[in-house]
Chain A
């Protein structure tokens, strides 16, 4: 079970968080129908570091961007999202 360092709450067990989606699966509000089909259905699943949108649901409830290695679970960075 991973340990995720929430920028607000510090290192917490990953049961407190919800995985939402990869960052490149965020469908902007002004997406065209072609964008939507591509972003929803034509996706890559690379082995390696990936940027993901998470939420600290059972903690501060902030939205976070995690950079996580999909094979080793090493977490390289955690920042609030949107930043700033």
Chain B
């Protein structure tokens, strides 16, 4: 038997096998079916954590995903997961767990000294402290960083793999408690394809802690039967699968955990996210119990009544030796009976109500010391509860106990309903919000819909499942056959199990206890209880006093309450605390909770590990890899690669041991002196064809186009609708009604969308087709004084500058454009991509003979900066008009996209940044640096491109400076404080090489 608090029998665990695990280095044993929390309790371990701010000793509060206290780091290496709830972690062999937020140990935590200064660190204290300048902040930061945060991150890369999957169904049922099960059953019987998702390891929901007979059958066996039915009807049943978020139009994300946190999968993925698009969704996620407010309600040994029953009934564990049970409805009697059945001594049952009825209460009152008008004021104890002081009708009563089971009411889980845009109704009787008015194709059922009691949950679920199937277009919404229980007498009513007590009950079943009536509400802190140790948000250490403080300081909105106190902001997202805090604020305001309102419910419902969100999109699969047609040729030539969007382009081709900067300069010099070749395949290329092709291009381009002669080309710019330069490129007339348009690599997709927009939306009457041919043609630039002779040698001809011709090269038909980006006489050779290799090789041979070689992006940049060519991304930065870039002379008078907005008077403002050249006078000329009139003065521009003279010496660049062209010759300061680089520059005309274009003439 494992542990002094394990019962010899009872529970859903498998006592025939044991599982070894460690907690804080201590080796312990549990059984299959245990959670870490139940196994620890069985072993008598009640201290499981230290609270976030005050480092108060904490044990488990709950038994499920609502747990705020027992957070552990589990696993090792790439499987380590911090902040894992010990109540939501099923044991596996070798599980290694560490408690958090304590040093050196859980029992002896140095952080506990913060309790001594607790009066100085209430909610929001950091808004009133830590004053001082940057240097003092650097000092504070060291302590704040160590104190902040909860849990430690893993320090190795993720060891497991994950997956995403799309699924479609008629009815998605969230939650496999009684209501969800009858909903799934009814929908499946009506012919719907059902997906049933349950976050627990097994089906049953509340049946797992409050056993019942349903249709004469054990509730859990009945549940398994429904799972079989769903599967037989082409449905899917997923356990350990949480519905994390409910999005638009019936999309629900399910997170399926195929292994536990920290566990190595036997094979395959660790977790999977299902993107389920359902025609109808049935939400049956149930309700969560609220804690009571009293001083010391956070001591280890104080837990929710439902949790105490869970440990007893599901895990066969006595959560303590002697219990006080306190609450506001029949759950206290149910809990006392269940705990007594498990061997726990009941010191007292405290009920806040003045009057009780029913067999359940009567049975309990017969057996245990029960008190009405009673509440706990203070729990005594430090690292474990030792007793409680109760207030009973005005008298005080001291009780000894090591377990307090509390029930402050039930809160329906409305998270998914609210994410889906639904509405809420306040139910005064239960003191909670019930879902109402769904906005999507959705039904709500069971305790999660505010429907309490087993029989009503079963019936409500059945109706919801039938309705969902009917509205999804299946079957006839009518009664399902006899398998479901009938609601009125004569049929079999579900029965809450207990060992036979003898005596009859109101519902007429021997040995049965009726389920508790509608839950009560107990939000008040009893008089005499210290609000500073009455915890509301256990995880973030927010007390009743903190809510009072927020109110005193003038915060009235629930949104301010949340952010000022951090109530509901921890990883449990306020599951046990939001409503308690809201009720206290409401009573301070003299309003009712619905008047105060709730904060927004956001996915995920429970924490999701990043790996699951990434799915398979990791490593090489993060983004598509666009490969150049000539990739292999570049690899062979020793290219160093530069990511450029999804492309990878050659940055340069260094010789063995050659630094990149040297290689780039060598390549650029080669272009100036002999000849070089570069891959320009990634440029956007469009074929524009049709009788109105010219007219269309004159909408897109702000320069002349329509009067280009066949066989000629020109540089052109394209504006956005607001008059700003979007991109630049070239346009070539291939035939009377056919043009080739080129533009920048980075803007290719935008330009394609823009062409389509103008053609289809703005000018649908034009007879023109625009096709992207970016990947159809590979492009190779050949540039340098020897380029022309080389091409004539290889193909027999070469077009003049800004003309085109067609030729044959390496057996392929190629297009030759007389275009230059480098400032030398140059050509662009366009070959079909599939035949690019032989064309490149032929050119490479010719180049080698002519004394040249390949050049990459770095050299290209040096060359174009020296020539003064602007580039999209540097000078064309989304803020520059054609006037700012010195391109006014090439604009047409009107009729292009952007013309109307370009008339805005502000485009002539003298202070606009405008293009200039920069020549380094002294020091550095760093790209991106600010340009200032003097040290410490406000900037008047920046360095948009930085390079150096290719054949000469000295740093040069291009810049955008206020009124730049009017200030040529001025010397200004260049400064990059973050990189600590400074210098002085002189403003010049933006061209440093061959301003007259003599190099282009043959």
Where the two chains meet, the residues of A that have a C-beta atom closer than 8 Å to any C-beta of B are: 1-3, 13-14, 18, 20, 26-29, 31-33, 35-37, 40, 53, 55, 57, 61, 63, 72-73, 81-82
What chain A residues lie within 8 Å of B699 (beta carbons)? 29
Q: A3-B249, A72-B439, A73-B248 are in contact. Are A33 and B762 (CB under 8 A)?
A: no
Give which listed residue, A1, A29, A33, contacts B904 with CB less than 8 A. Answer: A33
Q: A2-B249, A72-B439 are in contact. Are A36 and B900 (CB under 8 A)?
A: yes
Q: CB distance B721 to A40 under 8 Å?
A: yes
Give which listed residue, A1, A53, A57, A72, contacts B761 with CB less than 8 A. Answer: A53
Q: CB distance B277 to A3 under 8 Å?
A: yes
Q: CB distance A36 to B901 under 8 Å?
A: yes
Give which listed residue, A3, A14, A32, A63, contacts B760 with CB less than 8 A. Answer: A63
Instruction: Please report the C-alpha to C-alpha distance between residue A29 and residue B895 in the assembled complex, in whole angstroms.
Output: 8
Chain B residue nearest to A41 in the complex (CB): B722
What chain B residues lie within 8 Å of A72 (beta carbons)? 421, 439
Instruction: Please report the C-alpha to C-alpha distance between residue A53 and residue B517 in the assembled complex, in whole angstroms.
Output: 54
Q: A33-B903, A36-B900, A40-B722 are in contact. Are A3 and B251 (CB under 8 A)?
A: yes
Q: A3-B277, A40-B901, A55-B753 are in contact. Are A81 and B250 (CB under 8 A)?
A: no
Q: Does B873 contact A (CB under 8 A)?
A: no
Q: A1-B251, A40-B722 are in contact. Are A32 and B761 (CB under 8 A)?
A: no
Q: CB distance B753 to A29 under 8 Å?
A: no
Q: CB distance A27 to B753 under 8 Å?
A: no
What chain A residues lie within 8 Å of B900 (beta carbons)? 27, 31-33, 35-36
Q: Does B756 contact A (CB under 8 A)?
A: yes
What chain A residues lie within 8 Å of B249 (beta carbons)? 1-3, 73
Instruction: Please report the C-alpha to C-alpha distance between residue A32 and residue B894 in the assembled complex, in whole angstroms.
Output: 11
Pairs across A and B, CB under 8 Å, 11 listed? A3-B251, A3-B277, A29-B762, A29-B897, A36-B903, A36-B904, A53-B761, A55-B753, A55-B756, A57-B753, A82-B764
Q: Does B757 contact A (CB under 8 A)?
A: yes
What chain B residues lie within 8 Å of A2 (beta carbons)? 248-249
What chain A residues lie within 8 Å of B753 (beta carbons)? 18, 20, 55, 57
Where the two chains meet, the residues of B that have a C-beta atom closer than 8 Å to any C-beta of A are: 247-251, 277, 421, 439, 699, 721-722, 753, 756-757, 760-764, 895, 897, 900-901, 903-904
From residue B649, how far is it (CB to closest CB) to chain A in Å? 25
From residue A48, how far is it (CB to closest CB) to chain B in Å? 15
What chain A residues lie within 8 Å of B895 (beta carbons)? 29
Q: CB distance B757 to A20 under 8 Å?
A: yes
Instruction: Please report the C-alpha to C-alpha distance between residue A53 and residue B761 in the assembled complex, in whole angstroms.
Output: 10
Q: CB distance A3 to B250 under 8 Å?
A: yes
Q: CB distance A3 to B761 under 8 Å?
A: no
Chain B residue nearest to A14 in the complex (CB): B248
Instruction: Please report the C-alpha to C-alpha distance between residue A1 and residue B246 in the assembled complex, in whole angstroms.
Output: 9
Instruction: Please report the C-alpha to C-alpha distance between residue A31 and residue B898 in the assembled complex, in whole angstroms.
Output: 10
Instruction: Please report the C-alpha to C-alpha distance between residue A41 and residue B520 in the assembled complex, in whole angstroms.
Output: 56
Instruction: Please report the C-alpha to C-alpha distance between residue A18 and residue B761 in the assembled complex, in whole angstroms.
Output: 15
Give which listed residue, B248, B762, B763, contacts A1 with CB less than 8 A. Answer: B248
Instruction: Please report the C-alpha to C-alpha distance between residue A63 and residue B755 in the assembled complex, in whole angstroms.
Output: 12
Q: A63-B761, A82-B760 are in contact. Are A33 and B247 (CB under 8 A)?
A: no
Q: A53-B761, A55-B753 are in contact. Are A37 and B901 (CB under 8 A)?
A: yes
From residue A38, how far is it (CB to closest CB) to chain B in Å? 11
Q: A3-B248, A3-B251 are in contact. Are A26 and B762 (CB under 8 A)?
A: yes
Q: CB distance A28 to B762 under 8 Å?
A: yes
From residue B550, how far is it (CB to closest CB) to chain A in Å? 30
Instruction: Please report the C-alpha to C-alpha distance between residue A40 and residue B902 in the assembled complex, in whole angstroms.
Output: 12
Residue among A2, A33, A53 facing the most chain B CB atoms (10 A cut-off): A33
From residue A82, how far is it (CB to closest CB) to chain B in Å? 5
What chain B residues lie within 8 Å of A33 (beta carbons)? 900-901, 903-904
Chain B residue nearest to A71 in the complex (CB): B421
Instruction: Please report the C-alpha to C-alpha distance between residue A63 and residue B757 in the assembled complex, in whole angstroms.
Output: 8
Instruction: Please report the C-alpha to C-alpha distance between residue A33 and residue B723 in the assembled complex, in whole angstroms.
Output: 11
Other than A3-B248, A55-B756, give 12 A-B pairs with Cβ distance below 8 A.
Answer: A1-B247, A1-B249, A1-B251, A3-B250, A3-B251, A29-B762, A35-B900, A36-B904, A55-B753, A72-B421, A81-B761, A82-B761
Instruction: Please report the C-alpha to C-alpha distance between residue A1 and residue B721 in the assembled complex, in whole angstroms.
Output: 30
Chain A residue nearest to B903 in the complex (CB): A33
What chain A residues lie within 8 Å of B760 (beta carbons)? 63, 81-82
Chain A residue nearest to B762 in the complex (CB): A29
Ranked nearest first, the 10 interchain pairs of A and B with the lowest CB-CB distance are: A36-B900, A33-B903, A3-B249, A36-B901, A2-B248, A31-B900, A73-B248, A27-B721, A33-B900, A63-B760
Q: CB distance A26 to B761 under 8 Å?
A: yes
Q: CB distance A29 to B763 under 8 Å?
A: yes
What chain A residues lie within 8 Å of B247 (beta carbons)? 1
What chain A residues lie within 8 Å of B277 (beta carbons)? 3, 13
What chain B residues lie within 8 Å of A14 (beta carbons)? 248
What chain B residues lie within 8 Å of A20 (beta carbons)? 753, 757
From residue B617, how far is it (CB to closest CB) to chain A in Å? 13
From residue A76, how far is it (CB to closest CB) to chain B in Å? 13
Instruction: Please report the C-alpha to C-alpha distance between residue A37 and residue B904 in the assembled complex, in whole angstroms.
Output: 8
Instruction: Please report the C-alpha to C-alpha distance between residue A64 and residue B881 in the assembled complex, in whole angstroms.
Output: 31
From residue B481, how far is it (CB to closest CB) to chain A in Å? 34
From residue A61, how far is it (CB to closest CB) to chain B in Å? 7
Chain A residue nearest to B166 in the complex (CB): A13
Chain A residue nearest to B247 in the complex (CB): A1
Chain B residue nearest to A73 in the complex (CB): B248
Instruction: Please report the C-alpha to C-alpha distance between residue A81 and residue B757 in the assembled complex, in whole angstroms.
Output: 11
Instruction: Please report the C-alpha to C-alpha distance between residue A55 and residue B247 in the assembled complex, in whole angstroms.
Output: 22
Q: A2-B248, A3-B277, A73-B248 are in contact. Are A36 and B721 (CB under 8 A)?
A: yes
Instruction: Please report the C-alpha to C-alpha distance between residue A37 and residue B699 in the assembled complex, in whole angstroms.
Output: 19
What chain B residues lie within 8 Å of A28 (beta carbons)? 762
Instruction: Please report the C-alpha to C-alpha distance between residue A20 and residue B721 in the assembled complex, in whole angstroms.
Output: 13
What chain B residues lie within 8 Å of A63 (beta carbons)? 756-757, 760-761
Residue among B760, B764, B897 facing the most chain A CB atoms (10 A cut-off): B760
Residue among B421, B721, B756, B757 facing the most chain A CB atoms (10 A cut-off): B721
Instruction: Please report the C-alpha to C-alpha distance between residue A64 and residue B761 in the assembled complex, in whole angstroms.
Output: 10
What chain B residues lie within 8 Å of A36 (beta carbons)? 721-722, 900-901, 903-904
Instruction: Please report the C-alpha to C-alpha distance between residue A55 and residue B761 in the assembled complex, in whole angstroms.
Output: 11
From residue B420, how far is it (CB to closest CB) to chain A in Å? 10
From residue B724, how far is it (CB to closest CB) to chain A in Å? 11
Instruction: Please report the C-alpha to C-alpha distance between residue A42 and residue B208 in the assembled complex, in whole angstroms.
Output: 60
From residue B252, how far is it (CB to closest CB) to chain A in Å? 11
Residue among A2, A14, A20, A27 facing the most chain B CB atoms (10 A cut-off): A27
What chain A residues lie within 8 Å of B250 (beta carbons)? 3
What chain A residues lie within 8 Å of B764 (beta carbons)? 82
What chain A residues lie within 8 Å of B439 (beta carbons)? 72
Instruction: Please report the C-alpha to C-alpha distance between residue A17 and residue B942 in the assembled complex, in whole angstroms.
Output: 37
What chain B residues lie within 8 Å of A29 (beta carbons)? 699, 762-763, 895, 897
From residue B852, how far is it (CB to closest CB) to chain A in Å? 42
What chain B residues lie within 8 Å of A73 (beta carbons)? 248-249
From residue A9, how far is it (CB to closest CB) to chain B in Å? 15
Chain A residue nearest to B761 in the complex (CB): A63
Chain B residue nearest to A81 in the complex (CB): B761
From residue B274, how far is it (CB to closest CB) to chain A in Å? 14
From residue A20, how far is it (CB to closest CB) to chain B in Å? 7
Chain B residue nearest to A53 in the complex (CB): B761
What chain B residues lie within 8 Å of A40 (beta carbons)? 721-722, 901
Instruction: Please report the C-alpha to C-alpha distance between residue A32 and residue B250 in the assembled complex, in whole angstroms.
Output: 45
Residue among B721, B756, B900 facing the most chain A CB atoms (10 A cut-off): B900
What chain B residues lie within 8 Å of A55 (beta carbons)? 753, 756
From residue A70, how far is it (CB to closest CB) to chain B in Å? 13
Instruction: Please report the C-alpha to C-alpha distance between residue A29 and residue B248 in the assembled complex, in whole angstroms.
Output: 36
Instruction: Please report the C-alpha to C-alpha distance between residue A26 and residue B721 in the assembled complex, in whole angstroms.
Output: 10
Chain B residue nearest to A62 in the complex (CB): B760
Instruction: Please report the C-alpha to C-alpha distance between residue A14 and residue B762 in the assembled complex, in whole angstroms.
Output: 24
Instruction: Please report the C-alpha to C-alpha distance between residue A61 and residue B757 in the assembled complex, in whole angstroms.
Output: 11
Q: CB distance B248 to A61 under 8 Å?
A: no
Instruction: Please report the C-alpha to C-alpha distance between residue A72 and residue B219 in the assembled complex, in whole angstroms.
Output: 40
From residue A58, how far is it (CB to closest CB) to chain B in Å? 12
From residue A25, how far is it (CB to closest CB) to chain B in Å? 9
Chain A residue nearest to B763 in the complex (CB): A29
